[in-house]
Amino acid sequence: MSKEVWIVDDDDEMARAVELMLKLLEYETKHFNHPRPAAQALLAGKRPGLMILDINMPEVTGLDMLEFLRRRPEWKNLPVIMLSSEAADVMVEKAMKLGADGYVMKPVTIEELEKVMAQAFYRHL
């Protein structure tokens, strides 16, 4: 399994904070400001060990990207964690129904991120 984690978030500051936490946890990272370049990288044959998707992005949301991933057999088993400032139960429920492996709230702590990542990896053993 790849130690690379892709972060798809249009908020550069938040993405940098998550990247720093992941580096402290000894993961390699790649940041995409929009779902399209991440989808293009996947279609080109690249694949992370885990993907973190921000829900609220313009044009294509993290939920749109999650749906795209789960409709393709080759990415059904890719661990995906949703990252959002929305705590609404309905949003969490929607993400989980679409196939998310975890959901973390902004601002996320390193402990919470590590715990949710471990659960996501475990679901795909």
pLDDT digits (tens, 9 = 90+) for 112-125: 999 999 999 999 98
pLDDT of residue 87: 78
Q: What is the dihedral of CA 117, 37, 18, 119, to 10 degrees?
A: -10
The parent domain of residue 16 ranges over 4-123
Does residue 74 have a pLDDT over 80?
A: yes
What is the domain count for the chain? Answer: 1
Q: Give the predicted TM-score (pTM) of the model.
A: 0.96
Overall average pLDDT of the 76-87 stretch: 92
Please report, for the domain that includes residue 50, its CATH number: 3.40.50.2300
For strands 102-105 and 80-84, give the pairing: parallel
Q: How confident is the model at residue 68 (pLDDT cuts 50, 70, 90)?
A: very high
Q: How confident is the model at residue 1 (pLDDT cuts 50, 70, 90)?
A: low
Question: Which candidate, 90, 91, 85, 96, places its Cα nearest to that of 120?
Answer: 96
Overall average pLDDT of the 53-59 stretch: 94
Radius of gyration of the chain (CA): 13
In the chain, alpha helices (H)? 12-24, 35-43, 62-70, 89-97, 110-123
Q: Please state, in angstroms and as integers, the Cα–Cα distance from residue 83 to each residue in 4, 63, 70, 80, 122, following that order.
A: 17, 10, 17, 10, 19
pLDDT of residue 2: 78
pLDDT digits (tens, 9 = 90+) for 97-116: 999 999 999 999 999 999 99
